[in-house]
Structure 1
Amino acid sequence: MVRERSVWGVSEAAGGVAALRREDVIRVLDGCYDPCCEERRISVVDMGLIEDVEICGGRVGIRMLLTSGWCPFAARLTETIRERVGGLPGVEAVEVEVVWDPVWSPERMSESAREKLRLPLERLLPLREARIGRGGRR
């Protein structure tokens, strides 16, 4: 008996051996950046945006979260992911689906991403002192 697996509506027999591995897709995704995070080199993987990767033969399905429903770069980001993952050998099609459950939260970020987004204390102290010097007024 040949079982069927699906990548979001596209079924394919699971009897063949897929040369494409999940690790290969994750490695490519680790080089994809939301334009807001590209300067700090925080990938979609480090931001915790990738919810699931499913491979079925040459088809790759990626479920992805957004940090906000108002993300102005969502279309650009999903297109970048399609292009980069689609460039892997053996990939015939890539589907990127934005999902809203679970909701993205900062806890999903890697420690590396948190560190890159942290404002160093030496930059915070002068701001604090300036505010205290003004009596707390802005």
Structure 2
Amino acid sequence: MTEKMAKISSSLEDQVINSLEEVIDPELGVDIVNLGLIYHVSVVDQKCTLSMTLTTMGCPVGNLLADSIRQAVIAVEGITACDIKLVWEPAWDIGRMSRYAKVALGLHE
């Protein structure tokens, strides 16, 4: 990959992450990026692949989140497809949350 292509990919990945900050977990009321649910974002040939987890394995809003995530990703100019890989390792815990999310949820460090 050329340096210019790497910069474009990085820029698209940053744009995807920014767009994902608009996806709010309906149970917690905080976006999925600040909750630490997004583990990896990669964009290759206009296709975004992202690895993410849920706060719990039986999370009842998983399908709703997946639909919202796909919409947010496809809204980024230059992205035409989104593949979501749901992973459970490493397990999510509150340590993955940003300071913003912790404050929003009333948790103190």
**Over residues 28-54 of structure 1, what are the superposed CA-to-partner deviations in whole Å (9 max), with x where a residue is unaligned?**
01111111123xxx1101100000001
**Over residues 81-138 of structure 1, what are the superposed CA-to-partner deviations in whole Å (9 max), with x where a residue is unaligned?**
001111111111101111000000000001111111117xxxxxxxxxxxxxxxxxxx
Q: Percent identity?
A: 30
Please identify the structure whose Cα radius of gyration is greater.
1
Q: In the alignment, does 2:84 pair up with 1:96? A: yes
Q: How does 1:1-138 map to 2 (within 5 A)?
A: 14=1, 17=5, 18=8, 21-38=12-29, 42-118=30-106
Which structure shows the higher helix fraction? 2
The alignment's TM-score, normalised by the length of structure 1, stands at 0.69
Alpha-carbon distance, 1:61 to partner:
0.4
What CA distance in whole angstroms lies between the structure 2 residues aligned with 1:118 and 1:83?
29
2:45 aligned partner, one-letter code:
G
Structure 2 unmatched ranges of 5 or more: none
Structure 1 unmatched ranges of 5 or more: 1-13, 120-138
Q: Report 1 or 2 for greater relative contact order, CA contacts < 8 Å, sequence distance ≥ 6.
A: 2
The alignment's TM-score, normalised by the length of structure 2, stands at 0.86
How many residue pairs get aligned? The number is 104
What CA distance in whole angstroms lies between the structure 2 residues aligned with 1:28 and 1:79?
14
Q: Structure 1 segments of 4 or more deviating over 4 A?
A: none
